[in-house]
Structure 1
């Protein structure tokens, strides 16, 4: 292990970071995504600092296979775009660059300044950028070309001690971004890291802030939880912290008031985790929704005692159950069919002449076409027919 030094504001030379060599950290080059290495190499060849950062480094140190590899560098988005023709700039508040490969995207960010508020486009140095990271386990920089891990905040030691420590002061960390509450629980459970009591206490104080998170971000966070392989443990911990009610109110209230539903939900999520661990190709969003919604729809929702379920009612019951999470309509439709198909339950289809109006924001039914030779006079709908339904 070596040390990195820099100058303080007073001009004194001070230790700023610990540098762990391959013998110290144990990460093998073959564990690192070759496209991420290629991105870092190209940036360094053009004279910029560049490192693999965040969750990928944390997972490698924990002995896990990272799902994504992100890169952080000293080049601005415009400079990165000039180097990589296979790239695009995204984001408004803080611009990122996606470098596109055949089967993956490498996300590249620019070092952020401590002076920036929120996610504004104010760039800085690596020393400033590390202070913008949420937890020390995510604030590590890996140079894959010489296999060094640069640690400004003691993150390597915290990972070895299996503890999740914040970088940002607790008075600000969750107020600035309430989604960090979900991520703290997710990192702790997925990485077998301990949450210090002061972090747990702060989560309980700030958990209501989750109600203000936009539905689009909450949707992505739910699917990330269900994809971790530790979904059961994460949701169980969020329930214990009484934070889940601000993420998904309907299932949270049911789980807190009905111990049988809570146990069935956690058992189902553990089955999901086992299936994900044994699946080489992973699971799509339809499969994730099946595991999460099945018990409610079949045994605890409005159709618990019914063998034939109207598709329209089942669809909207599932959408209401998931609020404020808003998965794509086609994902909900596919999951709904799969749930009842696997359980031997039938979905009662609506008449074919009723068109799908829900995507246009209209939930009224349309008149069916007149049938020749009698039938429904005056274009009236058959008695008992339900309004228009989503297409499958």
Structure 2
């Protein structure tokens, strides 16, 4: 392992970062998207620093093939835009660049300073950028050209010791971005990381801050979890940490509330089925995920015991069940069809299945309209 040094105010050498070579990080380069490497190499040729950062590096070091590749650089957004014709700048206050390769999008961000916030541009160096990240396991920088992982904050040791550690002070981090609570629980389950006691307690204490997060961000995170192949264990932790009621207030009490043991069991059985399907390589689909998320709940309402299903009302029922989350109409409609097919129901046709689809049922709840008025 190499050590990167800087100098302090008195000119004395000071350790800055640990640099892991190929034999030490054991990253499989075949897992790295070639277009991501093309972006970085092109920035390097223009004299700019550029690295793969965050979750992609974490996954690569854990022997998993990343789904997305985020890139950071010291080039300003305007510089990146000039280099890549297939790009556009997004964001008004904090600007990012999206570079397009067909259906693929690579997000390129400029190093942030310690004064930077989500509300304005304030750029800095890599040494500051690392301190703006959420957890140490997401603060690793990979250079494809040198085949090195640069670690300023001890993230490699935390990853190998299976520990989730917040870089930002616990009193501050979730106030800055409450979504870090969701992500922390997700990371701990996907990468099998232990959450230290103080971090766990802070998550539970600050969970109410999720009320201030935009619905679009919450929806995005929920779909990532449903399609992660680990939805059952992550949702179980959401209940333990008190997150579930903030994300799914409509289905929280009917499924998770007291005296609902059978439905809780069925809810987790459905998520387990979804995870296994994804593990077997079934095409990832938001519609499929929604169908398994809501199956037990809608069954309990007696939705599938009606003689006739009006598609328009059924779609509305699914949307109501998801509130406050908002799923795309096309996915909700597809989920409705998947559910009806699974229950062997024809739209506006006769039932061809056993009553209640073989599931137990519970009374109708006030917030959900009965379909067969």
Corresponding residue pairs, total:
350
Alignment of 1:356-375 (within 5 A): none
Measure, in 1, the Cα distance between the counterparts of 2:26 and 2:256.
43
Q: Is the 8 A contact 1:50 1:72 kept in 2?
A: yes
2:292 is aligned to 291
Measure, in 1, the Cα distance between the counterparts of 2:249 and 2:8.
49
2:359 is aligned to none
Alignment of 1:310-321 (within 5 A): 310-321=310-321
Alignment of 1:124-143 (within 5 A): 124-143=124-143
1:268 is aligned to 270
1:27 is aligned to 27
Higher mean alpha-carbon deviation, 317-326 vs 286-295, is at 286-295
1:354 is aligned to none
Over 3 Å counting, the alpha-carbon distance change for 1:251 and 1:27 in structure 2 is same
Bigger Rg, which one: 1
Q: Could you give the per-residue CA deviations for residues 170-215 of structure 1, whole angstroms, max 9, x where no partner exists? A: 1111111111111001111111111111111001100011122111
1:66 is aligned to 66
2:7 is aligned to 7
Q: Is the 8 A contact 1:307 1:346 kept in 2?
A: no
Higher mean alpha-carbon deviation, 192-201 vs 87-96, is at 87-96
2:343 is aligned to 343
Measure, in 1, the Cα distance between the counterparts of 2:297 and 2:346.
16
**Deviation at residue 251 of structure 1 after TM alignment:** 2.1
TM-score (norm 2): 0.90
Describe the SS at the equivalent of 1:108. strand
**Deviation at residue 304 of structure 1 after TM alignment:** 5.0
**Deviation at residue 91 of structure 1 after TM alignment:** 1.7
Alignment of 1:294-305 (within 5 A): 294-297=295-298, 299-303=299-303, 305=305
1:357 is aligned to none
The answer to whether residue 255 in structure 2 is matched with residue 232 in structure 1 is no
Q: Could you give the per-residue CA deviations for residues 68-102 of structure 1, whole angstroms, max 9, x where no partner exists? A: 11110000100001111111111223211111102
Over 3 Å counting, the alpha-carbon distance change for 1:9 and 1:235 in structure 2 is farther
Measure, in 2, the Cα distance between the counterparts of 1:169 and 1:11.
29
Over 3 Å counting, the alpha-carbon distance change for 1:119 and 1:23 in structure 2 is farther
**Deviation at residue 119 of structure 1 after TM alignment:** 4.6
Task: Say what the alpha-carbon RMSD is for the aligned residues.
Answer: 1.8
Q: Is the 8 A contact 1:53 1:72 kept in 2?
A: yes
Measure, in 2, the Cα distance between the counterparts of 1:177 and 1:65.
27
Measure, in 2, the Cα distance between the counterparts of 1:59 and 1:119.
29
Measure, in 1, the Cα distance between the counterparts of 2:129 and 2:156.
17
Describe the SS at the equivalent of 1:17. strand
Q: Is the 8 A contact 2:304 2:343 kept in 1?
A: no
TM-score (norm 1): 0.86
Describe the SS at the equivalent of 2:305. coil
Over 3 Å counting, the alpha-carbon distance change for 1:261 and 1:10 in structure 2 is farther
Describe the SS at the equivalent of 2:271. helix
**Deviation at residue 307 of structure 1 after TM alignment:** 3.8
Describe the SS at the equivalent of 2:296. helix
2:352 is aligned to none
Measure, in 2, the Cα distance between the counterparts of 1:156 and 1:138.
10
Measure, in 2, the Cα distance between the counterparts of 1:307 and 1:21.
65
Alignment of 1:109-148 (within 5 A): 109-148=109-148
Alignment of 1:1-392 (within 5 A): 1-9=1-9, 11-257=11-257, 258-279=260-281, 282-297=283-298, 299-303=299-303, 305-348=305-348
Describe the SS at the equivalent of 1:141. strand
1:362 is aligned to none
Measure, in 1, the Cα distance between the counterparts of 2:96 and 2:138.
18
**Deviation at residue 270 of structure 1 after TM alignment:** 1.3
Q: Which runs of 5+ in 2 are unaligned?
A: 350-371
Describe the SS at the equivalent of 1:202. helix
Q: Could you give the per-residue CA deviations for residues 259-298 of structure 1, whole angstroms, max 9, x where no partner exists? A: 2222111111111111112126x3222112111112222x
Q: Is the 8 A contact 1:22 1:28 kept in 2?
A: no
Q: Is the 8 A contact 1:337 1:347 kept in 2?
A: no
